[in-house]
Amino acid sequence: MKEHPKNLRAWPRLLLGGLLACLLSTGTTPGQKPAPRKKKADKAVSGKQESQNKQGPRAPLGPNPNPGTYRTYDEVLALIGPHVITESMIRAPLKIAIEEARGRILSKDPQGRLPQRVIDSLKKDLLTRKAYDFLLADRVTSLNIPTEALENYLKNQVEKIVEKRRIQAGGWPQFVRNLERMGMSVQTFKKEERSRLQRILVRQEEVRKFLKGGELQVTPTELWEYYQEHKKDFVVTPDAKLRILTFGPTKGPGGIELSGLQAARLARKRILAGEDLEKVLQELGGDLQELKVLPKSGVAKALKAYTWDPKVQVLAYSPVRPFTRGRARILQVLERREGKTLPFQDPEVQRRILAKIRERRLRSIQLRQAWEQLNKIQAWPLDLIRR
């Protein structure tokens, strides 16, 4: 098949138009090299510089351990007295904590991404622990406690805790499995316990200081005001000690078939006549149960209809009451305590009030200290740190 001559004439025009379009797109003339494109690495470096400028102050790291890296300044996260907490101090622990949290939270999707609030919480927790480390170091220095003695004490206490947990778990393999179930390793568990002991030491020293300063001293007027305000806390709950005799279908004297109700009535009659309780229960096949009745239970409501025997201070045996599955029961109150308010003069009352007031004050002191420490955990300008 011969091609049409018009198609042959169109080819040169198409080639010329394509060449012209290429020249216009590159913006160069023939024989001129195109301008080099901007590398992605330069763009990444510029973006990194902008993000660092937005993040706030940096602390110099000194000689760069990795000359090939770009970063030469470290982000300041907190200032605890003369101590500076930087990002490099918590970078490795934060990475480990994130991996453990990912294994614990994202067990079904290990490659998933943790929520930012979880990462922020882990970061704040590490900052708080680091702050406690510095506070404890200052306290140890002020008390002239040898550093080696403190380290040995913490190490021994942690080992005792690990040994106790191992015994409770029934062996070392089970103890390790329990930690893995919680997303922790043995080393992480030891670090957690060490941090907890450090916080306890700091707080105990604060408690001693405030006890000596008299902040926890309580006056008699404060005791009386607390008693008037919380009088409901010193009300004795009414209760009763109850005996329940339950009888089911059985054979009575002479082999006569008795229902549970008939057996209970016969037992009540024989007990009130003075027969031995154990003998009656053995012959009629009854069950004995003694329990403490709380005021809001159904049995306690039924007891309101009974009256006290003024001679023996014990309720007489109640009328027989039908029970479930053909059984019947008899109730007897062995001891009953009416609800009343304990007087202020009671030594136990004053001891409880004193403990409550001191606990409340101590909690407010600890909250105030925690608030002050959290206020310190924030980024500070670099010129303040250099002072």
Q: What is the pLDDT of residues 195-239, one digit of tens each?
A: 777 766 666 655 555 444 445 567 778 888 888 888 888 877 666
Looking at the 3D structure of the chain, how many domains does it have? Answer: 2
If pLDDT is split at 50, 70 and 90, which confidence band does 70 have? Answer: very low
Domain that holds residue 283: 238-338
Strands 328-337 and 321-322: antiparallel
Whether 137 maps to a domain, the answer reads yes
Whether 291 maps to a domain, the answer reads yes
Whether 20 maps to a domain, the answer reads no
Whether 176 maps to a domain, the answer reads no
Last-in-domain residue among 294, 315, 338: 338
Does position 261 have pLDDT exceeding 50, yes or no?
A: yes
Please list the residues that pair with 331 across neighbouring strands. Answer: 244
Listed in sequence order, the residues at least 6 apart from 382 whose beta carbon sits closer than 8 Å to its beta carbon are: 57, 58, 59, 76
If pLDDT is split at 50, 70 and 90, which confidence band does 366 have? Answer: low
Last-in-domain residue among 144, 159, 193: 144
Q: What is the pLDDT of residue 36?
A: 55
What is the CATH number for 329? 3.10.50
Q: Within 13 Å, how many C-alpha atoms sit on residue 57's CB side?
A: 18
Whether 379 maps to a domain, the answer reads no
Whether 348 maps to a domain, the answer reads no
Q: Give the whole-angstrom CA distance, residue 118 versus residue 69.
A: 29
Q: Give the whole-angstrom CA distance, residue 247 versus residue 260.
A: 5
Whether 383 maps to a domain, the answer reads no
Last-in-domain residue among 102, 127, 144: 144
Does position 139 have pLDDT exceeding 50, yes or no?
A: yes
Whether 30 maps to a domain, the answer reads no
